Chain A
Amino acid sequence: MKQVVPLEKARDSAIFGSKAVGLGQAIRDGLPVPPGVALSGSIVEAVAAGEQRAINEVSKWVKPLSGPLAVRSSAVDEDGADASFAGQHLTLLNVPSSKELSSALSEIWWSANSDSAITYRKRVGLFTRPSVGVVVQTLISPDSAGVMFTRNPVSGADERVIEASWGLGEAVVAGIVIPDHYRVDRSGQVLERTPGVKNVAIRSLLNGGTIEEKVVPELVERLCLEDDQLHELNRLASRCEHVYGLGRDIEWALAGGTLYLLQCRAITVAGQ
C-alpha cells in the first residue's frame, strides 16, 4: 500500500481520509485545486512516533511542492467523521518547508488525541483509535478568500451565497471579521452585494505561521470582489455541482487573478 500519493491519486478515504479523496476527485475532474500530496493515517502516526523512514518518505514527496505549505487534517472515514470532526483536528497554514513538516504532522496527530477530541469521540460513541490522514499543499497567498454555498443554506433558494474577506479565508471561517455578503443567481446575475467590516486580514508570516494584520481603513468596508470575480465563482459553483451534486459548501481563494478551490463538501444544515 502506498502511504503517500499525489493528491489526484487519493481514492480511498479509509486510507487518506475524505478531505484528501474529495480534493483528489476535484483534480481528476479538472477543478482548480492547488497541487499537493495525500498522506495516509498510518504514515502520519509513524512520523508522529519519530520513525525516520516515514519522515524521509514524506520529505521526499513534499520536497517538489514549492513555497510554504498548507497542512490540513483529513479524518479517516468513521461514519462520515470528517465533517463531524471539523474544528477538532488541526489545520496548520504556512508551514515554511518540508523541514518543519514533521512537527506539524505530530501536532495534527496529537490534535486527534487531544482531550477535546476524545471528549467529542466519547459523546458520539466513537471511543476508538483515531486515524488522521493529512493533505499537504502549496499554500496560496490570496488577495481575497472565503466560502460559497451553491444553494442558499438558510432560505433554500436556488442562488449562490458568497462570503469573502481580504487575505486567507480563515478570517471568514473562524468568524474573525464580518465578511462581504453576496448573492448571485445561476445565470450569474448579482442579486446582492453587502460590504462587511473587515478590520483584519490573516496573512502568512515569512518564518511560518500566520498573523492577523490590520486592514487599512479605506479597505475595511470596500467590497473585495468585482463582478467578473463573482461570475467566475458562479462558474466554479456550477462545475462543483456537476462533479459532486447539488448543495455544496465551498472554500475558495483568489490569488494573482487565479481562482482556487480549497475544499468542497455537502452543505450541512444546523440540527442535522
Chain B
Amino acid sequence: MRGAPIEVLERVPLFSGLNKRELQKVARLFKKRHFSKGATVVKEGSGGAAFFVIESGEATVFIGGKQHTTLKPGEYFGEIALIDEGTRMATITASSDLFCYGLTYWDFHPFVEKNGVIGWKLLQRMAKLLRETRREAHELEGALAILRR
C-alpha cells in the first residue's frame, strides 16, 4: 500500500487543521519504516530530515541523556525537522520492534510550496502550537517561582 492511513495522521496536531482531501494528499507522501528493538531512531544534536508517526510498537524519548517519556502507536516525533532543517532535540530509541510512517523534508517541502492553502493551514497550526507551548512554559515558570519563594 502506498502512503500512510489517514486515520493515523488525523491524530497528529500539526495536521489537525486539514480536511480529509488535504490529509489524503499528505498521507500519500509517507513511507513505511521499520526499526528493530534497541535501534536509535533519531539522535539529539544530529541532523534530521524526517518526521515519523508510530504505527505499532513503542519508542523511548531521552533528553540530555535522561529518560523523558514513552511514545505509543499514533504518537509522532521529528516534525520540527520538516520545517527548520535544524538539529534533533531528543534521542529516541525503539523499545520494541517499531513500525512507523515517515515523511521526509524532500517530499514535504516541495509539496507545501505547491499547495499554498495546505501550507497556510499548517502555518496557522504551527503558530497555535507555539502559542500553547509558550503558555505552558509561562505556567511552569510561574510554578517554579512559587516553589523558590
Residues of A within 8 A of B (CB): 48-52, 103, 106-107, 109-110, 113, 115-116, 118-119, 121-122, 127-130
Pick the contact of A115: B3, B34, B43, B85 (CB < 8 A).
Answer: B43
Pick the contact of A107: B2, B34, B85 (CB < 8 A).
Answer: B34
Q: Contacts A50-B1, A115-B42; is A121 near B47 (CB within 8 Å)? A: yes
Contacting pair B34 A49 (CB below 8 A): no
Contacting pair B88 A115 (CB below 8 A): yes
Contacting pair A51 B2 (CB below 8 A): yes
CB neighbours of A48 from chain B (8 A) = 31
Contacting pair A49 B31 (CB below 8 A): yes
Question: Mostly helix, strand, loop or mixed at chain A's interface?
Answer: helix
Residues of B within 8 A of A (CB): 1-3, 31-34, 40, 42-43, 46-50, 85, 88, 102, 104, 106
How far is the CB of A47 from the nearest CB of chain B, in Å? Answer: 10
Contacting pair A115 B47 (CB below 8 A): yes
Contacting pair B33 A110 (CB below 8 A): yes
B78's nearest neighbour on chain A, judged by CB, is A115
Q: Contacts A50-B1, A127-B85; is A106 near B32 (CB within 8 Å)? A: yes
A115's nearest neighbour on chain B, judged by CB, is B46
A46's nearest neighbour on chain B, judged by CB, is B2
CB neighbours of B106 from chain A (8 A) = 113, 128-130
A103's nearest neighbour on chain B, judged by CB, is B34
Contacting pair A118 B1 (CB below 8 A): no
